[in-house]
Amino acid sequence: MICDNLAAIRQQIEQAAIQCGRPADAIRLLAVSKRMPLEAVVEAAQCGQLLFGENYLQDALTKIEQADKGLHFHFIGHLQSNKTRQAAEFFQMIETVDRIKIARLLDKHAAHLGKKLDILIQVNVGREQQKSGVLPDKALDLLTQAGQLENLRVRGLMTMPPYGQDSEASRPWFVRLRQLAEQAAAQHLFFDNKQVELSMGMSGDFMVAIEEGATLIRVGTAIFGSRP
Ligand SMILES: *Cc1c(COP(=O)(O)O)cnc(C)c1O
């Protein structure tokens, strides 16, 4: 089932890309395996899915330890200070940096590990109180500060827009994130300002996100089914 789902989603990605004149390989699919067992990750890997997203550090580490070393994991959950060391060590990218304190800790740990760590800045585009993410009007400040940390590579922005009834409800928020990224790129605030990552779009709205410029889409239930 996971393989069928993956094939269907890859087809939809291609279709959305063609429709808006983007190359399909400009969009990477992150399979969100949070709360799913290792077997689900293994099954997805067997049908060619090598990139995964995880929200809960402890749960993720058990899977990462047991999974094939060729798989890549992005951290997409809320990151606490005391988990930054392990996050820096075991993930290829941290997508949810939303305060300078966390960026500084990740930078310190990356230095100790002798690696350069890719990160995204998470933006709370809808200014929702219960949600993580830097507020849009504080994002450029945070990008400026995080960009000065030697062992981090700020690759782009990530967002989880307010919940909407249908996929079109997400579009204005995706546009907002893209515009913010364009503004930041014009000020050279990213590691590579010609290739800025936009992580946006989930099971219900990834087609719209691709139309609005997503380079990373984070899809869970549409691949793995509903979570236990
Ligand atoms: C769970 C989660 C997803 C995937 O959501 P689905 O609706 O299951 O596709 C994407 N991004 C984040 C940050 C998540 O926590």
CB 160 near ligand 1, within 6 Å: yes
Rounded to the nearest angstrom, the distance between the alpha carbon of 202 and the centre of ligand 1 is 6
Spatial contact of 116 and 220, defined as CB atoms under 8 Å apart: no
Residue 88 has pLDDT above 90, yes or no: yes
Write the pLDDT tens digit of every residue in 171-226. 999 999 999 999 999 999 999 999 999 999 999 999 999 999 999 999 999 999 99
**What's the CATH number where 123 sits?**
3.20.20.10
Domain count of the fold of the chain: 1
Write the pLDDT tens digit of every residue in 25-79. 999 999 999 999 999 999 999 999 999 999 999 999 999 999 999 999 999 999 9
Rounded to the nearest angstrom, the distance between the alpha carbon of 167 and the centre of ligand 1 is 14
Q: Give the separation between CA 145 and CA 138, rounded to whole angstroms.
A: 11
Rounded to the nearest angstrom, the distance between the alpha carbon of 220 and the centre of ligand 1 is 6
| Domain of 178, in residue numbers | 2-224
Question: How big is the chain, counted in residues?
Answer: 228
